[in-house]
Amino acid sequence: MDFEYYTTPDFEEFPDKLKVLLEANERKIESLLQNRDRSYMNFVRPYMETFEKLDLFFTPLSHLNSVQNSKKTQQAYESSLPLLSLYHTKLSQNRELFEAFSQIKGSDSAQNEVVRLELRDFRLSGVELPEKEKKRLKEIDLRLSELGNRFSQNLLDATNAYELVIEDPKDVEGVPKSDLALAKTEKEGKTVWRFTLQAPSYLAYMTYGQNRLLREKLYKAYVTRAPDNAEVIDEILKLRDEKAKILGFDHYSELSLATKMAREDEEVVGFLNRLADAALPHAQKEIEKLAKLAKEDGIDSLESYDVAFYSEKLKRVELDFDDEVTRPYFEQNRVLEGLLDFVGELFGIAFKEVEVPTWNESVKVYDLQERGETFSRIYFDLEARENKRSGAWMHDWQTHHEDEKKMEHPATAFVVCNFSPSKDGLPSFLRHEDVVTLFHEMGHALHHLLSRVKERFVSGIHGVAWDVVEFPSQFLENFAYERSVIKRFAAHYKTGEPLPESLMEKIRKSKNFLAATGILRQVEFALFDFMLHQKLYQGDEIQKLLDSLRDRLSLVKPPSYNRFQWGFAHIFAGGYAAGYYSYKWAEVLSADAFFACYERGVVKRNMTDGYKQYILQSGASEPMDRLYRKWLGRDPDSRALLRLYDLG
């Protein structure tokens, strides 16, 4: 297999080298257009190959800018964005290319889907518009690219800039030892504890820190990060609205849905409101329990910075479960090996660790094999560190496909998380929620790596409608709560003793602990995102919209200083604009699929074989709703989502 090997980019020369590559791609495409005897094989296949070459070159830089951010990566990345934006806009508005694709006929469903999606995207890029409007769209796309990067960099800089230094040992009582070990440092010869806005550190104090004033201080710093993003948001929204109108849509949400499984605004808003209505009465009971616990501590009004702390306390009361107790049983390396073992059995594949160049010594790399043959590769970068973007994600690099010479190319992908790192001789320990996160991102990776589609533009995650792209990740994360799966890797790191059955049962029950409150939170985010793009909001109007949703959906209303939107990277620096609803939309499919494949602790092998064939291996060779019907012979059952959460 012809795998790419990671090398650190030459930052100073990168933009110039990128320019050379883009110019070579343009010459290649021009030569393809000059051939009047065009076919799918001699035109579309080599055209798609230019995109693969670009990804192979650019991905190492974009990836490194997220996982090992520095001034050098920032400068090279920011200098490259205008070149890329201009290049993609020129291609997407090339009338001759559009007309060439209009004349191409594929020989199978995957090839026809490539042509259909390309023609759709050409039209959504304004290929049929007058030159003046085309030019304006180019300017908008370039600026949006720059603004998205600025939003992300502002957020990263603000996250790295803050620290809360605690000197009194009483203020860290109750914080788990492993978190204290990471926070412990020296200041003027005295032991102190340093908490930051990086996720593992922030969550540790918000969940276990008993000093309420310090919790609020840390919370306030977190929800008021990156105030510079207020101006960035205004400009992003203004440009998105203008772009939608140039393309003939009333507002940006309509433009967004043109590439989704959902068809109309009303379908999305109705789905989210029905979900909120189903969750509200259950959530009210959950919050009443938290408020009662807080009152026992003399707190008359439960606040946002109390929720994580009292949620953990309630979990101990109701489930007799402290997530911290399980951490010694979830040593990172063992969890990863257990995950790979389970996935291997589930889908009939094997993982072989390999030694190849990486960007950090903690990164692990595996080749995926089937019947002894290697077909793809995966990189795991799982530990938090400074200058690494927070959160967890899967990033594709190579894509499985055949080129015009019918040579097969493999897929590669990166799985990135921010788990507590090993320190002072202690290994990295995971909370169970970290285990769930790892399963989730692995689900994304499998969707890309198991592809058997020959056409690059619809192979792996490419071409998959955004509101179903979370389907495979959510499907796999459901298994992280199952006893038969947990047994594979849950063993005490010192004694090797397996996780007690009583703790396994508590983990299973914790799956739906405060589930309704969690659903409401996600619905609030999704409605805010979607409604924000149904008309043009600016300045204070944005906060007023968010506040109006909180009045209905936030049973613990955030303090007035909360500026959640400044950190909402999913929609302002990611791909989720007017699409955050996708998490819940896709969860209908994932819940239905999970129940189809797994019943009473038993995997239905014939069903997982079908899931592998029709969902994972088929990429976007056909629309997901059609692939789903091919697999199960029916549409997804929306009741499965409520069943998953024990809400109906």
**CA 68, 69, 71, 74 torsion: positive or negative?**
positive
Per residue in 117-149, pLDDT (tens digit) is 999 999 999 999 999 999 999 999 989 999 999
pLDDT for res 634: 96
DSSP state, residue 462 = T
Q: Which residue has the higher pLDDT, 391 or 538?
A: 538
Using CB atoms within 10 Å of the CB of residue 431, give its burial: 0 to 12 exposed, 13 to 18 middle, 19+ buried: buried
Residue 52 sits in a domain of what CATH number? 1.20.1050
Stated as kind and residue range, the H or E segment containing 204 is: helix 199-208
Find the helix or strand (DSSP H, E) in which 353 lies.
strand 350-353
Q: Bin 422: left if φ > 0, else alpha if -120 < ψ < 50, else beta.
A: beta
Has residue 231 been placed in a domain?
no
What is the rounded end-to-end Cα distance, in angstroms, of the chain?
A: 49
- Could you tell me if 116 and 170 lie in one domain? no
Q: Which residues belong to the active site?
A: 441
Q: Would 484 be classed as within a structural domain? A: yes
pLDDT surpasses 80 at 557? yes
Mark which of 223, 246, 272 sits at the end of a domain. 223
The answer as to whether 300 is a domain residue is no
Both 103 and 205 in one domain: the answer is no
Same domain membership, residue 448 and residue 394 = yes
The tokens for 348 are: 């009939």
Give the integer Cα–Cα distance in Å for 174 and 159.
24
- What is the rounded distance in angstroms from the CA atom of residue 72 to the CA atom of residue 378? 26
Q: Is 534 within a domain?
A: no
Inter-residue long-range contacts of 292-298, CB under 8 Å, 24+ positions, other chains counted: 293/317
Domain boundary among 201, 223, 245: 223
pLDDT tens digits, 490-514: 999 999 999 999 999 999 888 899 9
pLDDT digits (tens, 9 = 90+) for 283-326: 999 999 999 999 999 999 999 999 999 999 999 899 888 778 89
Q: Do both 19 and 81 map to the same domain?
A: yes
pLDDT at 424 over 80: no
Residue with tokens 């894509």: 399
pLDDT tens, residue by residue, 561-588: 999 999 999 999 988 999 999 999 999 9
575 in a structural domain: no
Instruction: Give domain status of residue 319, yes or no.
Output: no
Contact assessment for residue 89 and residue 142, using Cβ atoms and an 8 Å cutoff: yes
- Average pLDDT of the chain, as a whole number: 95
DSSP per-residue letters across 515-576: HHHHHHHHHHHHHHHHHHTSS---THHHHHHHHHHHHHH-SSPPPTT--GGGG-HHHHTSS-
For 62-116, what is each residue's pLDDT tens digit? 999 999 999 999 999 999 999 998 999 899 999 999 999 999 999 999 999 999 9
Give every CB contact of residue 11 below 8 A, 6+ residues apart in sequence.
Answer: 61, 72, 73, 75, 76
Domain C-terminal end among 223, 241, 256: 223
Residues 347, 390 share a domain:
yes
The Cα–Cα gap between 335 and 419 comes to: 12
What is the pTM for the complete model shown? 0.85
Q: What tens digit of pLDDT does each residue of 35-77 get?
A: 989 999 999 999 999 999 999 999 999 999 999 999 999 999 9
Residues 109 and 207 in one domain: no
pLDDT tens digit sequence for 327-384 = 999 999 999 999 999 999 999 999 999 999 999 999 999 999 999 999 999 999 999 9
Do 488 and 408 lie in one domain? The reply is yes
Pairwise CA distance, residues 465 & 620, whole Å: 8
Strand order in the sheet with 163-166: 163-166, 190-196, 184-187
115 and 211 co-located in one domain: no
Number of domains, the chain: 3
Both 494 and 598 in a single domain? yes
Same domain for 167 and 119, yes or no, is no
Candidates 441, 515, 436, 514; CA nearest to 481 is 436
Q: Is residue 1 very low, low, confident or very high in pLDDT (cuts 50, 70, 90)? A: low
Question: Residue 379 corresponds to which tokens in the numbers above?
Answer: 């990189």
Distances in Å between the Cα of 298 and the Cα atoms of 122, 206, 302, 331, 588 are 61, 18, 10, 38, 41
Q: For residue 540, tell me if it sits in a domain.
A: no
The residue that leads in pLDDT, 526 or 142, is 526
With cut-offs at 50, 70 and 90, classify the pLDDT of residue 621.
very high
CATH number (domain holding residue 369): 1.10.1370.40
Short-list 162, 168, 181, CA closest to 220: 162
Residue range 251-291, pLDDT digits in tens: 999 999 999 999 999 999 999 999 999 999 999 999 999 99
**What's the domain range around 42?**
14-92+94-128
